[in-house]
Structure 1
Amino acid sequence: MQRSTDGFAATLQPGRWAALVWVLLSVEVLDELSSGVPSAAAAAVGSEFAVSNTAIGALLTAFGLLALFVEPPLFFLADRFPRRWFVCGGLLGFGVSCFAAAAAPSYGWLFLALLLFGPFSGAGVSLSQATLVDADPARAERWLSRWTLCGAAGDLATPVLLALLALGGAGWRSAFALCGLLAWAQAALLWRRQFPDEHREVEAPARPWREALAEALASRPLLLWAVALVACSLLDEILVAFTALHLRRDLGFADPAIYLVVACFSVGAIAALLAAERLHEQLAPAPLLRAACGVSLVALVGFVLSGSLPALAGWALLLGAGSSLHYPLAKAQLYRALPGRSGTAIAVAGLLAPAELALAPLIGLFADGFSLGAALLALSAQPLLLLAASGAARPPRPGHASDAPTPPAEGGPGGPATPQSSIGG
């Protein structure tokens, strides 16, 4: 498979993959945009339906409840049947759930709409990501960094969209309706494209599902990276939530200062993900992950020990930059642990979703028992666990140069891509 090295916007899969790649990346933008509407518009939703803060908190968990049971078998089946069915069907259901949320006459109906949103998002969005990696597995880290960058763009787009709609007299319902239309448009575009599994020259016969699942569950690297990925939500939404509490309750900052510090996390992340385009050319995945984890650990300690707004903003920029690379680098290794079976890989990771949902309450209990500062320091479990997974996944093969930088593609721009080393070999 050929590649271009003319920069982020121009680095596309050639020919038949170019349009597919861009639509797949846009799916992540839409997912983060739409899933951010309930939290960004929480005050408006609470006022309209006259519900408590507890009810709003429960609403934000609705996305993952049904998905806990539906996604693992769905992802497993996506390796055994045409991927197009799952991605496009998921996006159609994604649109339906958005329209249902937009038209919800009560809190209960809105909760139900978001409950259905979860598995449809899993099929349409998670399998879009898996398809993107399948299209160019040798450069999984780069594609997943771009995927994460698109997600960050979607996060930033949510409050902007709501603000623009508010200027026109509209609100969160209109935002959901717009997201539904965009999801259907993406489904129509992807239905016309050819997927990676449709380009296999030799189609291997399907293995018995029990045998395939047993092999996946016996893969030590797959399980290690699945566990490590669970922790990758710590320095994300959980960090933002407990940072806001720490700044308000411990340091006495007002909302504008809190929003500034939280925005610095996103700005640092976007800057690092843009820089990752070059970093992936200069460093193999293993040293890049170790560097990102080291930066995150130092920045987290500095952040917790700081008390002034400039210092907090500076450490937040650095923390956002370091932590932004954790997910794409770790997720790439999950896919590499089970080559050609991306659906099964994320199905196994999905089995640990209950543990991920339990992280926020556990950190809350830790904060109540100790302090908010101590709870923030506990988030260092994310980089520490990633470092442990990186070391444990290294196969015992002496002299194996897993950390060697990726050599440049032969022939310069447009030459064949060289597969990157996996972390730990």
Structure 2
Amino acid sequence: MTELTRTDAQRTFDLDRAHVFHSWSAQDQIRPMVVTRAEGSFLWDGDGNKYLDFTSQLVFTNLGHQHPRIVEAIQRQAGELCTIAPAHANGARSEAARLIAERTPGDLDHVFFTNGGADANEHAVRMARLHTGRHKVLSRYRSYHGGTHLAINLTGDPRRWPSDHASDGVVHFFGPFLYRSAFSATTETEECERALAHLEQVIALEGPSTIAAIVLESIPGTAGIMVPPPGYLAGVRELCDRFGIVLIADEVMSGFGRAGRWFAIDHADVVPDLLTFAKGVNSGYVPLGGVAISDAIHATFADRAYPGGLTYSGHPLACAAAVATIEAMEDERIVQHAARLGEEVFGPGLRDLAARHDWIGEVRGTGAFWAIELVRDPVTREPLAPYGGSSPEMAAVLAAAQRRGLLPFANFNRIHVVPPLTISENYARVGLQILDEALHEAAVASR
């Protein structure tokens, strides 16, 4: 690495610390990594160190860094039409909507584009409230739906607490999570039955006629990648049908191949009324999100103006990136590759780690969407870090992984294995080997 490059990296860091306000951070307590370049499943820091990216950043670079087809599509679109107001039709948006509608389940054939996942969830709830004439929304604990005002209130993890004044019509309930069951269940079947009975009771006690929507991540992402037990999502669908409640599937993180299907809800063969997406729709190359809308809800606004919009809805550069992403996913069989990684590499590899490390309490996931639950004691299941916090042991695991050239994704007492869907089987196994070594080093050091 040249001295000039090091100087540029230092200047980048200094300017960042002088002027950039970082999200979810105490500003004086962070030292952000300077990233100078990235390619495929790798990135390089300001000192020239190379890292295998097991985070897909915030789980959005599904096709890896600098995918040539997406980069070329953005460049080509910039030369033709950089931007246009959303009232006008543009080719990139029309084609992106077609490609998305072809892949969403059921009759979700109409797409409202947003700038990201949080505003997609905001608009989905607004549509549900206007469609039903009701106000309350139910969402689960251990969930994340975005950082805007309503989306953070929908969220069911500690990031909600500083901004939640219980004034936005949101009621939380317990979803299924057998490893830390709220229902004293001992099997997946019991967990499913008891979680659905609990949800039905919450609906009854809150008043079905007051509830506009139930919002669920098809597979909760940042909150822990808890794959729902068989029958749960179908059971929620039945409750929504019975009580006239809109089912909103949040696929912001789990969609576009991450879970080994185009959308995670496809595993359950369930069709929601609204489906929100972002992140993987164009690998995050240009900000884009959206709501896929059923025929029934679309009809509500056929002759009644929808009271909402965004300056950059369906931005041509973002939509061109989405078109290139979806076409590349089809041509390169990315969804099938992600499914195979889960079945042949991550599932067996992580279960092997669990058999050899007492700190691993549970491994769960599908596709390229996995979580390792770390505990102090496999019998008591005491988390290695407290809910909403971290610990010296977690910090040691992450530091050991990073020293070995792996960029890990951590949240509380968990490490998430969420690399680009394009990662090779070889590099996926390299990442698991580094995790193995990091866990061993940290455990030995803690004794």
Pairwise same-fold verdict (TM > 0.5)? no
Q: Say which structure, 1 or 2, has more relative contact order (CA 8 Å, 6+ apart).
A: 1
**TM-score, structure 2 normalization:** 0.27
Higher share in strand: 2
